[in-house]
Structure 1
Amino acid sequence: MCPLFRALLLFPLLAGLAGCAQEVDSAPEIPTPVVGAALYRVTFEASWSANTHADFPAGAHFSAIIGASHRADGFLFRPGQLASPGIKDMAERGNNTRLRAEISVLQSSGAAFRLLEGRGFSSPGTVADTIRLDATHPRLSLVTMIAPSPDWFAALEDENLLGTDGQWLAERRVPARAYDAGTDSGATFTAPDQVMLPASVIAPLLLPPAAGTAPNGPPLGTWHLERIR
């Protein structure tokens, strides 16, 4: 067969294969599904009582819970670091004014999404509120003063409610962590104010239980996080 004739026969076949390759390469990519916003009911079930912890003080209560949904860099506090003025006021006096302003700054920068601020309540007891999260701000941090106390607080710390499958978790129960803000050196629930100079870093608070062998006692309560929308 003439080389020129063979080339003319192969040309349509090669052109067709090239066209198929172009069609495969130009096929549109399927976008990754984006999860929508979620609304969670947040319930703090306080179990702190004379039956669970030693030296239970008269008038025991928790201050108004405050916190936010946020990105990974939108934290309210970090153990091992100094307390912000807002965390100091919340932990020492149950005053949320400066912490609310700090959360507002995080919102303005895009690091935080929605604010949650509830009410104070006696312990044992229960309080509930709602907060919205989105895919950019899937984490939740909340704090409340352990009262009376020098500078102690309970927290939900940087809880991620977006699962590894990219879907919102239906429900989660998290023991409340107790912290010392490092701004007052009082050693008992009702100790008089003793400003710590220089201030120490935020650290886990060890509250011995009235009974049992756990090194830091049972938790002061439990955070119940439930998606409702």
Structure 2
Amino acid sequence: MLRSFPRFCLLPVFFGLAACSQTAEPAEMPPAPAVGSALYRVTFEATWSAATHANFPAGAHFSAPIGASHRADALLFRPGQLASLGIKDMAERGNNTALRAEISALQSSGAAFRLLEGRYFNSPGSASDTIRLDAAHPRLSLVTMIAPSPDWFAALEDENLLEATGQWVAQRRVPARAYDAGTDSGPTFTAPDQPTRPAGVVAPLLLPPATGSAPDGPPLGTWLLERIK
């Protein structure tokens, strides 16, 4: 003989299964917010002087800084590799024509976003300009000739301003690194032209300090990067 159970006895089982079904479904996550572009003020604060480095030349200055916001695969130069014509002309004569064309080609390919080209300035001294970056081009590279010099330049090298959290850096100070372009063998700031044949590779430049025992001396200055929009 079949016995019937009261309907209310099945209710806890039904609701228990329903609860398990609800908790088993993964919660839908809201889409991550898109990262917008960012506008930065870039200031090169040059501290290179007779008080910081030996053999400080008369008329010391930096050529018009030039560079771009770009992807990780769009570097203006690579230490240990030959300098491009644009880097050579910038480092030897402060001439940005060829480098400007190289950056334009990177922009056309989508590897670079925006160009920055400032004005020359004396050292010690400073110069500022602005540049826009976006999520696809969050890195910034800039170069400027150390003048007078054979083929020496200062650089901001592949600086990533988009943090892993998806937030733009509010402010950052980066020491200006000095490089030898490997295209002129002059040993001093005012040495006559001595083309390097065959050309060498771009390499860090070690300038002796005016005082102290540090082998590479203090930096030539600081790149100040400030997000303004």
Q: Which amino acid aligns with 2:68?
A: A
> 2:115 matched to which residue of 1?
115
1:155-206 Cα deviation digits (max 9, x unpaired): 0000011112110011000110000000000000000001101110000001
1:165-204 equivalences in 2 (<5 Å): 165-204=165-204
Q: Distance in 2 between matches of 1:154 and 1:18?
A: 64
Question: Secondary structure of the equivalent of 1:131?
Answer: strand
The equivalences for 1:68-217 within 5 A come to 68-217=68-217
Q: 3-state SS of the aligned residue for 1:188?
A: coil
Letter aligned with residue 68 of structure 1? A
Alpha-carbon separation, structure 2, partners of 1:92 and 1:132: 28
In angstroms, what is the RMSD of aligned CA positions?
2.3
Question: Which residue identity is paired with 1:202?
Answer: V
AA aligned to 1:196 is T
Q: Could you state the TM-score of these two structures normalised by the residue count of structure 2?
A: 0.90
- Deviation of residue 30 (structure 1)? 2.7
3-state SS of 1:87 partner: helix
Q: Distance in 2 between matches of 1:130 and 1:45?
A: 15
The offset of 1:33, in angstroms, is 2.0
TM-score by length of 1: 0.90
The superposition leaves residues 43-99 of structure 1 with CA deviations (integer Å, 9 ceiling, x where unpaired) of 000000111110000110000000000110111001111000000000000000000
1:56 aligned onto 2:41: no
**How far, CA to CA, are the matches of 1:135 and 1:16 in structure 2?**
44
2-side partners of 1:203 and 1:120: how far apart? Answer: 23
Please give the alpha-carbon distance, in whole angstroms, between the structure 1 residues aligned to 2:132 and 2:18: 54
Letter matched to residue 211 of structure 1: T
Separation of aligned partners in 1, 2:137 and 2:195: 35
Distance 1:78 1:16 in 2: 61
Give the ranges of 4+ consecutive aligned residues of structure 1 lying more than 6 Å apart after TM superposition.
15-19
Tell me the percent identity: 77
User: 2: CA distance between counterparts of 1:164 and 1:195?
Assistant: 44
Residue of structure 1 equivalent to 2:6: none
Mind listing any 5+ residue stretches in structure 2 that lack a counterpart? 3-9
3-state SS of the aligned residue for 1:158? strand
